[in-house]
Structures are given as C-alpha cells and as structure tokens.
A and B are shown apart, each in its own frame.
Chain A
Amino acid sequence: MTSIVPTGMVADRLRSHARRAGGRIAVRTRSTTGWSAMTWAELRDAALSAVANVTGPARPRGPAIVLVDNTPASVASLLGLAMAGVDMLLMERENSYLHDERSVVNRLPATDLICPSDVQLPRAGLAQRTFNGLIAGPPATDPPRAEHPGSAILQLTSGSTGEPKIVRQTLGNILTGGALHRDLHRVTEADTLFAMVPLAHSFGLVGALATALVSGAGLMTMSRFTPGAVLEGLDAGATGLLGTPLVYELISPVLPRRTADARARFALSSGGPLAPRVGEAVGERLGVPVHQVYGSTETGLLACQYDRPEPWPENCVGTMAPGVEWRVRSHEGRYALQGRGQLLVRTTTMFLGHEGDRGSPFRDDGFFESGDLVEVDAVGHVTVLARKDTFVNVGGRKVNPRRVERVVAEHPGVREVFVYGGTARAGEEEIHAALVLGPDAGTGDVMEFCRTRLMRYEVPHHVHALPSLPRTGMGKVDLCRLLEIVAAAEKRTND
C-alpha cells in the first residue's frame, strides 16, 4: 500500500502550526500535580532538539523502546524520533513486558530506552535516555532529512496465536490514519482532542495525536486516568473525546448535564462494544452522541460512526472508512460485500508484518484476515458480531491469555493452569484462571505472584482451584466441561 502522506509530514506540520499559531497550546497533560503544557512553538523546538540529540553518533543503532507517559515531553520526544527516522516501539510507561525476560519485547534488538526520568532500567544492553534529556539543548536547524513515511512504529498486539506479537506499522500509516479521523469528524485547529486513552496505543496514537498533528487541533492527555481530570478537560474546552467503553462507563455518572457554554461536539469509543445504556447516558449528558470506532493495530481504522442526520442502528460500528476494501466470507466460503461472515480487508494503513515472522500475514490477493465475525447490511452498516477469540478484552485492553498462563505457570506451586475470558458487565470481560495446585500452594500465593509480574488489568479476576483440568481426547482443555465444573463449584459455595 502507498501512503497518501508525503515525506516530511511531521516536520512540515509542526513548522506550519508553530508559524501560524505558535502561542497556542498544542499539548496539555493532567498529572497528579496539575496541568503542564507546550505551545506549538515550544513543541516544535522541543521536537527539533530531540532530532539534534539522536542525529549523528547519538543515533540509536536499533529500534528505540519509548515508554510514552502522555506528557508534553514524551509527545515532543516521539515526534522528534519520528522526524529523525528512528524506528521505535511504543509502550505504556507501566507495563509488564520489559521486566518479563521471555516477552516478545525482549526479543526485539532494541538499543535504546527512552522514558521518564524515574524509570528503572530493566536490563543491561539498553542505553537509557530521559524525555527531558532528549528535548534539551539547541534544536536542529536543518530540516530533518531522515524523516520517512516508512519509519517503523512498532506496537504490541494480542497476536493471532500463542504469545503477543509486535506489529510493524509505519509513520506514514499513522499520519494517514490521523487524516482519516480528521476528515471523518471534521477536526480543525479550533478543536481540542482529549485522549482519555494512552497515546502508546493505536487509538490514542492515531485518533488523538496524529489527528491533532495533521489538523492543528490541540491535544489533551492524562498521565493517570481520573474522572475528575476529564471534567477539568471539558471545562477547559475539550471538543472531542476519545475513550474506551470502560472509560465512558467511569465518567458517565460524574458528567454534568450539558450547559450552554459546553464545547464538546463529538465523542469516540474504541476497544470493544459500547453498552447502549452507557452510550445513551454519556450522550445525553454531553449533548452529543458517542460514536463507535472499529479497527485494529494491524489494519488501522476499519469502520466508524460519524455525525449524520439519521441515527445509527444499535450495536453498529458505522460504515467502512475511506480506503478500506473488504470481503465477507460466509460460512459456506462464499465472498461478498455484504452479509454475515469473516471479515477480510485491505486498507491504506495496513501494517507491514509482525516482527520476527518470516511468512507474510497476507493472502495472495493482499487481503488480511481480521479474524472478526461481522455483518454488513445492504447500505453498508457494519456490525461486529465477535472479535477474534485469542484475547480477553479487559476494559479495552487486549490481554493474551496464553501469556498470562505462561507467567502463572512459573509459580513453583502451579502444576497446571488454563486462562480464559468470561463475561463481566455488559460488553466487558474478565480473566479467569483454572489452576491445579501442588500440596503447599494456595490461590492467594499465586495471586500475589501474579501481582508482582503482571499489570493489574492482566491479573486474573477469578481463580478456580481444581483437582484436575478436564481435557478432550486430544489432550486440550475442555472449556465447556471446565465452565460446567466452575459453575457447579460456585453454586455449591453460594448454597
């Protein structure tokens, strides 16, 4: 696929915004101590300083791991690295992968870790640089010549099989995705986008940061999510909100009724199905509907709702985005543009492949198997019936159960383990772990062990200690039988 974004886009955009509106706030971030901000002129200078600091002998020899904490300094660093043509893996500041020796991240030949100043170096062999250090010093004076739309933006994904994988996206695709969001939601420099999601994830990176960059809109972020910060952001003039269904569920009860001076004009939800009761409650209070967005790290934006006179059908995620070619493969193996079946796509923002995989992820005709079951009706409305079942969706975060299994199995008292997803509240999932324990181990020990090795959202919500795991004749865990056993045990407990 050829990017529609020309070379030099980040540098050109930063220069343009700084020239036309240098004193306007480009990025503002709510941390535990208050708000911090950079104007467009400051962001341009800071990013160009980062360019100077990674040019020449100081240039990373391999990919850089960037622990994005959503601060203005991290945004400036990220943009500087992009302008310098440095390949980078974007991760949340808090993650369980860096200290997991067997994780896919530690198989990446990364040479640099770029992070906040209080992060402890996870392993030898990484040159550590701080955001504040990277953006210090004189800015690069020459136009960055290394910027290239093919520069790699690496991101973690749940993976179609086995452990999580690293997706190789490109800078050009990220910016193209931003342009798509800009056009679909008519984002201009009069807007301020509030990313209630991490910028290290696709939705935050593309839907918020890239959209702000290509449109000139301001960007609001949080270093730690709090509903109170969202209220402050709305008071400060946020016009577009980007969140997950869980985020909207959390802010729903605290949002005030829309007032005459409210500026919010659109809200986007991605990461899973938005429960109608949550969407309606938030929409009623904000005074604008919450539009659903459907996509993936691999493909970029696939479909979304947008403002239009007629209401969107319930549970529909909108229509296919511009540039998306699709086929629906029916149960019988027939291909069509509408109907119910597996979704295959080609997009203008398609990834290049998974790090370390030798085979192509694409079919011979260039289509990518999304793994999702969808229905496309006669007018093009898309409904996602089921996402691929290789991950557990915890509040919009895709948790790979096989990785959690592997980590749990490292506890010396665990003889067998099987991790799976279960339904929680409407549209939400939780992680269950079925365990066979040795004589001296307890579930409490295993949970403590998990808490030291996994992020909080990755730690199983429910633990079921069993004498054995039910298995099929092929030796695989029999999930249907397991669910029956767990349900029966819970019934006995409740009785």
Chain B
Amino acid sequence: MSSQQLYHGDTEVSRKEQQPAMDHVPDALATAIAREMGNILVRQPLGLMDDFFLAGGDSSRAVELITRLVERCALGDAEATDQLHAALTLAMFDNASPAAIAEAIAKQTIERS
C-alpha cells in the first residue's frame, strides 16, 4: 500500500491553508498528517510547515502521533514497520512539520517498493 493510498479521501483542505511542501511529497499525505497532529493537539489542522512541538506537542504526544502513523502506514512486514517507526521517531525530533514527516514516510515507502 502506498502512502497516497493510505490517506485516500482524507485530503480536503483549502488551498489557502496549505504552504509549499517538498515537490516529491504528496500534499495529501502531509495534509492528513497535519490533521492528525491537530487531532492530537485538540486544535485545527496544522499548516504543512508548522512545527508539531511549537504548536503544543510534547514527547508524550509525539509517541502517540508516531504510533498512529505507524499503524496507518503499516508496510507489510515487521522489519519494514520497525524501520518506519525508527525513521519517524528520528524525523519527529529533527523537523516535526507535516511536510517533513510526510517526506520521511514517503522515503520509507519508496525504499520498500
């Protein structure tokens, strides 16, 4: 399952809200992550370049987010899932924007395909 498929139907957001994401990362994925971050923070979806921690996230909420994303993006086998988990954990504490997290997921997905 590709990262685009995972978030199918979860993409509606006004273009006005969106900020530029990396060219090769699907907007739909980043938008869905922005919405998931908003759910966890009990607020509106984040902008694609907003930082999860600056928006109110802490380590405990980061674990919750990573857990949800890994569950939704299960890559088929345990080893791939572990690699995704590790990549997301490192990415969250490097650049915690929806766009950057989407890029980390997309990279893992591409590496597996």
Contact for B60 among A227, A246, A448, A460, CB less than 8 A: A246
Assuming the contacts A425-B67, A444-B42, asked whether A430 and B89 have C-beta atoms less than 8 A apart, the reply is no
Closest beta carbon of chain B to A203's beta carbon, Å:
16
CB distance from A121 to the nearest CB of B (A): 23
| B94 proximity list for chain A (CB < 8 A) | 226, 228
Question: In the docked arrangement, what's the CA distance between A463 and B41, Å?
Answer: 10
Contact A250 B82 (CB under 8 A): no
Interface centre among B53, B89, B94, by most chain A C-beta atoms within 10 angstroms, is B89
Q: Mark B32-54, 1 if CB is under 8 A from A, else 0.
A: 00000000111110000000010
Contact B93 A228 (CB under 8 A): yes
User: Of residues 228 to 275 in A, which have CB atoms within 8 Å of B's CB atoms?
Assistant: 228, 246-247, 249-250, 253-254
| CB-based nearest A residue for B53 | A456
The answer to whether B64 has its CB under 8 Å from any CB of chain A is yes
Q: Is the CB of B90 within 8 A of A395?
A: no
A180 within 8 A of B: no
Please state if B82 and A461 are interface contacts (CB–CB under 8 Å): no
In the complex, which residue of chain B has the Cβ closest to the Cβ of A244?
Answer: B59
Query: Which one, B43, B63, B82, B93, contacts A246 given CB within 8 A?
Result: B63
Which of B40, B56, B59, B85 lies in contact with A451, CB distance below 8 A? Answer: B56
Of A249, A253, A462, the residue contacting B86 (CB under 8 A) is A253
Distance in Å: Cβ of B4 to nearest Cβ of chain A:
24
- Which of B61, B85, B93 contacts A461, CB < 8 Å? B61
* Distance between Cα atoms of A249 and B85 in the complex (Å): 11
Known contacts A254-B89, A395-B58, A459-B56; A249 and B63 CB within 8 A of each other: yes
Asked whether any CB of chain A lies closer than 8 Å to the CB of B29, the reply is no
List of A residues within 8 angstroms of B43 by Cβ: 444, 447-448
Question: How many residues of chain B have a CB within 8 Å of chain A?
Answer: 23
Contacting pair A253 B82 (CB below 8 A): yes
* Residue A428, interface by CB 8 Å: yes
Find the B residue at minimum CB distance from A460: B42
Give the A interface residue count (CB, 8 A): 29
Smallest CB gap from B62: residue in A: A250
For the complex, give the distance between the alpha carbons of A227 and B88 in Å: 11
Q: Are A254 and B42 in contact (CB under 8 A)?
A: no
Interface contact B60-A254, CB-CB below 8 Å: no
Q: Which of A444, A447, A456, A462 contacts B58 (CB 8 A)?
A: A456
Contacts of A250 in B (CB 8 A): 59, 62-63, 89
* Interface status of B57 (Cβ within 8 A of chain A): yes
Q: Which residues of A contact B63 (CB under 8 A)?
A: 246, 249-250, 425
CA distance A448 to B42 in the complex (A): 9
Residues of B within 8 A of A462 (CB): 42
When the two chains form their complex, are residues B57 and A228 in contact, meaning their CB atoms are under 8 A apart? Answer: no
A451-480: contact bitstring with B at CB < 8 Å (1 yes, 0 no)? 100011101111100000000000000000
Check: A424 CB closer than 8 A to any chain B CB: yes
Q: Are B56 and A456 in contact (CB under 8 A)?
A: yes
Judge if A111 is at the interface, Cβ distance under 8 Å: no
* Complex Cα gap A394–B63 (Å): 12
In the docked arrangement, what's the CA distance between A461 and B42, Å?
Answer: 7
Q: Which residues of B contact A312 (CB under 8 A)?
A: none
Q: Which residue of B lies closest to A247 (CB)?
A: B59
Q: Scan residues 405-454 of chain A and give those whose CB is less than 8 A from a CB of chain B.
A: 424-425, 428, 430, 443-444, 447-448, 451
Supposing A424-B64, A443-B42 touch, asked if A456 and B90 sit within 8 A by C-beta, the answer is no
Contact residues in B for A463 (Cβ distance below 8 Å): 42
- Which residue on B lies nearest to A251, using beta carbons? B89
Question: Which chain A residues border B67 with CB–CB below 8 Å?
Answer: 425
Nearest CB of A to B106, in Å: 19
A225 at the interface (CB under 8 A from B): yes
What are 8 inter-chain pairs, A to B, with CB distance below 8 A? A226-B93, A228-B90, A250-B89, A253-B89, A395-B59, A425-B67, A456-B56, A457-B60
Which A residues lie at the B interface, using CB under 8 A? 225-228, 246-247, 249-250, 253-254, 394-395, 424-425, 428, 430, 443-444, 447-448, 451, 455-457, 459-463
Per CB-CB distance, the 4 closest pairs between chain A and chain B, nearest first, are A456-B58, A226-B93, A253-B85, A395-B60
A sample of 10 more A-B contacts (CB under 8 A), given A228-B94, A461-B40, is A227-B89, A228-B93, A246-B60, A246-B63, A247-B59, A254-B89, A425-B63, A428-B60, A448-B43, A456-B58
